[in-house]
Structure 1
Amino acid sequence: MYNNTSRKGLAEDVSIRARQAGWTVAGADNWHGKIVGSTVYYPPGMQSEAAQLAKDIGISRTKDALPNMKKDRLTVILTTDYAG
């Protein structure tokens, strides 16, 4: 779970929400770089899981994982559009 905003604690807050929905969260940190909107990124074969996680935490956007992301898990990047 990554925070791409100046809002302190956002990644941790959303991690708690994901855990309450039954997801395992590896960690919460900041993401540096430009992301268009809050997104759940998924590796090959995990598109349906990404859609479910997105629904559970209130994100409407899912996309293929970026090249530098781990290929065995979903990656969430939260941006200023995240309403929670």
Structure 2
Amino acid sequence: MSDRLQRLWPSLVALVGTVAVVLALLWYFGDDTDDSTPDDVAAGDTSTEPPATDPPATEAPPETEAPPTDAPTEEPTEPAEPVTADPDVVEPLGVLNQTDEAGLEEQASERFQDGGWEVAAMSEFTGTVPETTVYVPEGMEEAADALVLQFPEIGRVMPTVEPFNDTRLVIVLADDYLDEVDSE
């Protein structure tokens, strides 16, 4: 029996120690089952004010003042002038229409020109560009950033690749462009 007790002794000490730690923590932090203490105080609110109670049922709720019916209405605002690009960063654009929407490149070109950009070329395009993209030749990154900032419907910026012209920014209009422009 003493051999068995010697083997169990470390386990019994660990068990008794664990129980002692749990009891000490319960004693230190206490339990909040005391009904005489409001839950807010038990949760850390140490204010000495009694808890708020609902007003008696005989009192009417305070009346709120309705806004006057002859209040001035806001004047409709004039549409804002289109934001134009900084002439110092503007580069010529090529606009290519990859969608089935005939003439979309012309409509988009008008928007870009109204925004201060020169459209040097436009055409239809057969390809698989996944979303409206501007292809950027080396050294025209600042212009591309300005273009995308001004026209957020251009969702992607990529370095220029063959067969695109490397002397201008080239915008390929994809089907997502239709969704963006139709919602405006």
Q: Percent identity?
A: 32
Please give the secondary structure, in 1, of the residue aligned with 2:120. Answer: coil
Say which structure is richer in strand.
1
Q: State yes or no: 1:44 paired with 2:138.
A: yes
Question: Root-mean-square deviation (CA), in Å?
Answer: 1.2
Q: Could you say which residue in structure 1 is the equivalent of 2:124?
A: 30
Q: Which amino acid aligns with 2:175?
A: T
- The runs of 5 or more residues in structure 2 that have no matched partner are 1-94
Structure 1 unaligned regions, length at least 5: none
Q: How many residues align?
A: 84
Give 3-state SS (helix, strand or coil) of 1:59's partner: coil
CA contact (8 A) 1:40 1:74 kept: yes
4+ long deviations beyond 2 Å: 54-58
Report the structure number with the largest CA radius of gyration.
Answer: 2
Normalization by structure 1: what TM-score?
0.91
**How far apart are 1:61 and its partner, in Å?**
1.0
Choose between structure 1 and 2 for higher RCO, CA contacts under 8 A separated by at least 6 residues: 1
CA contact (8 A) 1:18 1:56 kept: no
2:166 to 45, 65, 71: 71
TM-score, normalised via structure 2 length? 0.44
* Larger proportion of helix: 2
C-alpha distance after superposition, 1:3-60 (max 9, x if no partner)? 0000111111010000011100012210111111100110001112112112323312
